[in-house]
Amino acid sequence: MTAVLDASTSHLTHDRPALTDVRGIPFTRLARVELRKMVDTRAGRWMLIVMSAISALIVAAMVIWGTPDESTFSVFLGVTSFPLIVLLPIVGIMAATAEWSQRTGLVTFTLEPRRSRVLLAKVVAGVLLGLLVVAASFAAAALGHLLTIALRDTPGDWSMSWRVVLGFVVAMTIFIIQGLGFGFAVLNTPVAIVASILLPTIWSIVGAFPKLQTAATWLDLNRTIDPLMSGSMTGADWAHLGTASAVWIGIPLAIGSWRVLTREVK
Amino acid sequence: MITVENLTKRYGSFTAVDDISFEVTPGSVVGFLGPNGAGKSTAMRMMTGLTPPTSGRSMILCRDYRQLPNPARHVGVMLDAAAQHPGRTGKEVLHLIGMTIDAPKARVEQSLDLVGLTPDEAKRRVRNYSLGMRQRLGLAGALMGDPQVLILDEPANGLDPQGIHWMRQLLRAYADQGGTVLLSSHLLHEVQIIADELVMIGRGKILAQGRKDDLLGAQGTRVGSLDNERLADAVRRAGLELTGDRTGLLVKAAPEAVGRIALEAGIVLTELHTTGSEGLEQLFLSLTAADARDAAAA
């Protein structure tokens, strides 16, 4: 194990590129690295495996026992998306907190000291991963529906409004960014997971009180996202969704960005 | 080239790093030495842009670290070998670094080879690595960009004697090719065998700095005799500073001067030589002993 530094392993002995000739790290590369970091750890990979497994199980159960009117493409899509709603925020949280809870930030932020770029790269990577997972859930739903047509002679029903597709994509994006926001704000994986599940739930319960009904229609993310997923968004719904998102995503993201940009990396 | 100028970090009323200045020139290995909690890591985090300094500045290659376009291509940094994601394989850790800084693909294998991690070990997850292996992986990560400056925090921590020997050779070769190395340690002997120059820090302040040979030799002469008390009197009469214990005296003068005093006084010497690291070690130990934590732990 005698270390050898020679011309092949080090160009210290050669002329080195001048400082001004070395280019910065392009943003696309940062985003690609962040995307990879979301799935290259054991935890990240298992999260995706669990999501797929749950979807596969539900699809299988529906193929075997489902009644024809329960076997349309849109119903399949509804069930394959269910695990995503629960687990996508957690993928976002882990992506945001790992630099601090696993202390990999010591490496990440020395490789790219302009932390805002890393932060943005994480958001972009999170959204990309969300879209990939959504595409996978569409594929799973289509496969399930095809199986019921082939195996159980169910009439094919592929009807799906573009509004639902759009709503679906927007909803998943919201969920993963919400996870990132909570992660950045708390910078501690378990606390962020608990907070991201507990706070909106508590708010949903509190919002059920008659006096808080109006506030809830504007500020309950779960409630305002429902019409999005069912493709029945009206102008008012968009306004409700916008306000709720601003509160549940905007505030954590703002606090989180401030913390990530100013916090000492240890 | 690393330049640190009046670097200071305060946390409330606590001063972690207190107005330190030093320079690391190409071709040399500088040991940054001090007990735990002396401010070494804080200083290194300030040099690499992770911690904003309260005042003062540090420059690498005449630039603020954060102004380097792709820092890892110039500066290899390892601040804590334990700070790796346990769920990633060693190889993946290096691959991510290579991807980020746009290092050639072959660099991952080269770096692994360079630090002596086998392909089998590289495929294992960091969770299963010993501290020594994490140190090697951390160093491989620092070398990914083939930098001309290395900043390493406690790189020998957790390495066995063989590993320390290996690291000394690696860093020596690196500096001999014109590389600049700053490494920290809380163990004097560890730094002593690797570094050309020492910067000793205690409670945030620089206590001693200079070439290792000067620092280690400049401490005076150790002398023992059949009548230490009479010798001590004679030395004091000659106007020389001295400290000592039952086993011998430590005189702030060259051996020749001390020998002449003994000759004139007619005292038989049993021992006469320049002190090695004893003086520095004394200073270092007094620092460490003053630390309540270590006193309690001892």
Q: How do residues B41-78 score in pLDDT, each as one tens digit?
A: 999 999 999 999 999 999 999 999 999 999 999 999 99
Q: Which two tokens stand for residue B126?
A: 């960091």
To the nearest whole Å, the CA of B84 is away from the closest chain A CA by 5
Neighbours of A259 (CB within 10 A): 14
Q: Report the C-alpha gap between B253 and B239 in whole angstroms.
A: 10
- Per residue in A86-107, pLDDT (tens digit) is 888 888 898 899 899 889 999 9
Contact A179, A92 (CB under 8 A): yes
Exposed, middle or buried, A170 (CB in 10 Å: 0-12/13-18/19+)? middle
Q: Which residue of B has its CA nearest to A113?
A: B66
pLDDT of residue A259: 94
- Per residue in B243-257, pLDDT (tens digit) is 776 677 888 888 888
Residue A2, pLDDT above cutoff 70: no
Q: Do B177 and A42 touch (CB under 8 A)?
A: no
To the nearest whole Å, the CA of B10 is away from the closest chain A CA by 13
Please tell me what DSSP assigns to residue A246.
I
Q: Report the C-alpha gap between A49 and A63 in whole angstroms.
A: 21
Please check whether residue B290 lies inside any domain of the structure: no
Start-end of H helices in B102-254: 107-114, 119-123, 131-143, 161-176, 188-194, 212-217, 228-237
pLDDT band at A10 (very low <50, low <70, confident <90, very high): low
Question: Among A133-137, A188-192, B127-131, B274-278, whose mean pLDDT is lowest?
Answer: B274-278
Q: What percent of chain A has pLDDT over 70?
A: 94
Q: Are residues B131 and B229 in the same domain?
A: no
Does any CB of chain A come closer than 8 Å to the CB of residue B174? yes
Start-end of H helices in chain A: 27-39, 42-65, 73-101, 105-111, 115-152, 162-186, 189-206, 213-219, 221-230, 235-245, 251-262
Please check whether residue B280 lies inside any domain of the structure: no
Mean pLDDT value of segment B8-12: 94
Q: Report the C-alpha gap between B109 and B113 in whole angstroms.
A: 6
Q: Are residues B118 and B234 in the same domain?
A: no
Among residues 200-229 of chain B, which lie with CB inside 8 Å of chain A?
none
B29 three-state secondary structure: strand
To the nearest whole Å, the CA of A48 is away from the closest chain B CA by 15
Sign of CA dihedral B139, B146, A263, B96: negative
- Per residue in A40-89, pLDDT (tens digit) is 888 888 888 888 888 888 888 888 888 877 788 888 888 888 888 888 88
Q: Do B71 and A111 touch (CB under 8 A)?
A: yes
Does any CB of chain B come closer than 8 Å to the CB of residue A25? yes
Please check whether residue B283 lies inside any domain of the structure: no
Question: Among A91-100, A111-120, A207-216, whose mean pLDDT is lowest?
Answer: A207-216
Q: Do A264 and B50 touch (CB under 8 A)?
A: yes
Chain-centroid distance of CA A123 in Å reads 9
Instruction: With residue B198 as reference, give the H or E element that holds it.
Output: strand B197-202
Please check whether residue B292 lies inside any domain of the structure: no
N-term to C-term CA, chain B = 39
Paired with B183 in beta bridges are B31, B152
Please tell me what DSSP assigns to residue B67.
G
Total number of domains in chain B: 2
Contact B285, B207 (CB under 8 A): no
Q: Chain A partners of B84 at a C-beta cutoff of 8 Å?
A: 102, 104, 107
Q: Which CATH number does the domain housing residue B267 bear? A: 3.30.70
B25 three-state secondary structure: coil
Phi and psi at residue B203, in whole multiples of 5°? 45, 40
Does any CB of chain A come closer than 8 Å to the CB of residue B92? yes
Question: Among A23-37, B57-71, B143-157, B208-222, whose mean pLDDT is lowest?
Answer: B208-222
Q: Are residues B251 and B154 in the same domain?
A: no
Q: Do A110 and B72 touch (CB under 8 A)?
A: yes
Paired with B3 in beta bridges are B23, B59
Does any CB of chain A come closer than 8 Å to the CB of residue B27? no
Q: Do A107 and B146 touch (CB under 8 A)?
A: no
Q: Do B100 and A110 touch (CB under 8 A)?
A: no
Does any CB of chain B come closer than 8 Å to the CB of residue A263? no
**pTM to 2 decimal places:** 0.83
Question: Does residue B232 or residue A30 have the better pLDDT?
Answer: A30
Q: Are residues B194 and B226 in the same domain?
A: no
Q: Do B83 and A110 touch (CB under 8 A)?
A: no
Specify the residue for token string 């005449």: B62
pLDDT band at A12 (very low <50, low <70, confident <90, very high): low
Contact A159, A74 (CB under 8 A): yes
Phi and psi at residue A86, in whole multiples of 5°? -80, -40
Q: Of B217, B247, B218, B249, which Cα lies nearest the Cα of B231?
A: B249
Please check whether residue B287 lies inside any domain of the structure: no
Q: Are residues B202 and B228 in the same domain?
A: no
The average confidence (pLDDT) of chain A is 85
Q: Do B80 and A103 touch (CB under 8 A)?
A: yes
Give the domain-ending residue among B170, B187, B211.
B211
Q: Are residues B245 and B170 in the same domain?
A: no
Please check whether residue B58 lies inside any domain of the structure: yes
Exposed, middle or buried, A67 (CB in 10 Å: 0-12/13-18/19+)? exposed
CB-CB: which of A4, A113, A266 is closest to B66? A113
Residue B142, pLDDT above cutoff 90: yes
Does any CB of chain A come closer than 8 Å to the CB of residue B178? yes
Q: What is the ipTM of this complex?
A: 0.85
Does any CB of chain B come closer than 8 Å to the CB of residue A12? yes
Q: Chain B partners of A107 at a C-beta cutoff of 8 Å?
A: 77, 83-84, 97, 141
B275 three-state secondary structure: coil
Range of the domain at B233: 220-274
Does any CB of chain B come closer than 8 Å to the CB of residue A30? yes
Please check whether residue B143 lies inside any domain of the structure: yes
pLDDT of residue A203: 81
Half-sphere exposure of A103 (CA within 13 A, CB side): 9
Phi and psi at residue B120, in whole multiples of 5°? -65, -45
Q: Chain B partners of A24 at a C-beta cutoff of 8 Å?
A: 69-70
pLDDT of residue B277: 61
Please check whether residue B38 lies inside any domain of the structure: yes
